[in-house]
Amino acid sequence: MSTTTKKQTPATRRESWGRLRKLPSGRWQARYPAPDGQMYPARTEDDKPLTFLTKTDARTWLAGMHTKIAREDWAPPAVVAARRRAEAEAEKAQALGFAEYSERWMEMIRTRPGRSGKKRAPATIRDYQGKVTGYLVPEFGDTPVRDIDEARIQVMTERLDKIPSPLNPNSKFNGVTRPVLIVLMMILRQAARDGIIRVVPNVSVPKQEPVRHDIDHSPEEDVATPEQVEGLYEELPDLYSIMALLAAWCQLRRGEGLGLQRRDIQWQRDGSAILHVRRQLNANTGDYTDPKSEAGKRSLSIPKIMIDRLRKHMEDNVASEAKAPVVPTNVQGSVPLSNTRWGYVWAEARDAVKSLPNYFRFHDLRHTGLTIFAQEGATLAELMRRGGHSDIRVVIRYQHATMTRDRELADRMSDHVAASIAAAKKKKEEAETSSDSPGHL
């Protein structure tokens, strides 16, 4: 009687807990019942298949998994792997160097809208980039963002404070430290939102201080006299001299003046004129863009003191087309004078008027006009409309002008009252003298 031997195939071996199975490769696979009611094969912490060289190794792993479940320390392999990836990413992020992260931050600034919902202006982006590449990256380099603490920032602050002011070497402030710190704190706040650092270092950003002038400088010193404005008008080339009057007496910003076109000046039958501010010549792009804010779009009555000069300028220098620039590069040209070229023209004329205050800027002509406008009794609302301001805090600076006018009126009132009192006293004394005279009955 012959006997037949059956070939044994790899079979699942039942254990007291879990199951073992020998694979065709000779390695062992382990499976276990999880708390969620499902059977799970052994997997690595990265959620990849895990097999064992020997049966003993597989049983040891099962025992460890049984203990973990008993301790309620179990989670599905996919969840564990996701958690590990997140932790690894967090660890990598926390080791991120400042130079790399600041580059990411600049990209975010360029592409994402700001708090207003609009994208940031090119000038703002360029300013931030200048602070990052000019000061912050040279200071911190590849230092992990998490290592930039209050002490490290203080070291940078002290170094920045030693940079002399390019505008006024004698100034206690250089106009560098504060804006650089502001950009740094913006970057660190975003790093906290991104989970790269836990908290933002407690750093006090210094308040805005005057740079062009000494600390005891008075705002009145930035106001030119009408005679000085006239001097600037005379020193400027005929083709460009109208800019001085547009800034001083129409209170236009530089870009608004350079952005004017013939169609923006509306002449009235009585000889007066209205100026419409609808655009500016952007200093960064060289193109026409919207004014600084919605408040910048405004219509102004042109003061009669400059009407005749403006009319002659339009006749002699401005082309007849509606879109012809009011301040062209050449006589009756179609291209507006650039911001850069105007800077050179302005500097030469300013230096020729020796009586102007030190560090006098073209923008100070606008300040001059708004100050005089305030002295004539304009309200804050009227000043905001005239100057195209959207923030009342900016216009408050002209409050000193109304206080000067208030002081003048108070002094005139005082003189009037004193004169009345003196006249009454004199009249009384004369009456008393007359009554005491021998011939009085």
CA distances from 276 to 238, 310, 327, 384, 386 (A): 23, 14, 15, 16, 11
Whole-number pLDDT of residue 210: 53
**Phi, psi (degrees; rounded to nearest 5) at 52:** -125, 150
Sorted by where each begins, the domain ranges of the chain are 12-79, 98-193, 220-400
The answer to whether residues 307 and 273 touch, using CB atoms and an 8 Å cutoff, is: yes
pTM (2 d.p.): 0.57
CA distances from 191 to 30, 115, 186 (A): 44, 17, 9
pLDDT band at 248 (very low <50, low <70, confident <90, very high): very high
- CA dist., res. 235 & res. 333, Å (int): 22
Q: What is Dmax (Cα atoms) for the chain?
A: 182
The 8-class DSSP code of residue 71 comes to: T
Neighbours of 158 (CB within 10 A): 10
- CA dist., res. 328 & res. 332, Å (int): 7
Structure tokens at 392: 């009342």
The answer to whether residues 251 and 383 touch, using CB atoms and an 8 Å cutoff, is: no
Task: Tell me the mean pLDDT in the region 175-198.
Answer: 90
Amino acid code (one letter) for 131: K
Whole-number pLDDT of residue 399: 61
The 8-class DSSP code of residue 114 comes to: -
Encode pLDDT of 187-241 as tens digits.
Answer: 999 999 988 888 999 888 877 655 555 555 555 567 899 999 999 999 999 999 9
Amino acid code (one letter) for 289: T
Whole-number pLDDT of residue 5: 46
Encode pLDDT of 17-37 as tens digits.
Answer: 999 999 999 999 999 999 999
CA distances from 394 to 79, 238, 389 (A): 55, 33, 7
The answer to whether residues 331 and 239 touch, using CB atoms and an 8 Å cutoff, is: yes
Per-residue pLDDT for 262 more than 90? yes
Whole-number pLDDT of residue 320: 96
Encode pLDDT of 323-352 as tens digits.
Answer: 999 999 999 999 999 999 999 999 999 999
Neighbours of 313 (CB within 10 A): 20
Most confident of 243-252, 282-291, 352-361, 398-407: 243-252
Whole-number pLDDT of residue 269: 93
Which positions ≥6 away from 58 have C-beta within 8 Å?
A: 20, 28, 29, 30, 42, 52
Torsion of CA 279, 282, 283, 287, to 10 degrees: -120
Encode pLDDT of 290-301 as tens digits.
Answer: 987 888 899 999
Which one is predicted more confidently, 258 or 390? 258
Structure tokens at 165: 């002011």
- Helix 226-235 × helix 363-375 angle, to 10°: 150
Whole-number pLDDT of residue 161: 85
Environment class of residue 382 by beta-carbon count within 10 Å: exposed (0-12), middle (13-18) or buried (19+)? middle
Secondary structure class of 376 (helix, strand, coil): coil
b/e map 31-61, b = 16+ CB within 10 Å: bbeeeeeeebebeeeebeebbbeeeeebbeb
Amino acid code (one letter) for 261: Q
Domain 220-400 has CATH 1.10.443.10: yes
CA distances from 3 to 6, 7, 184 (A): 10, 13, 87
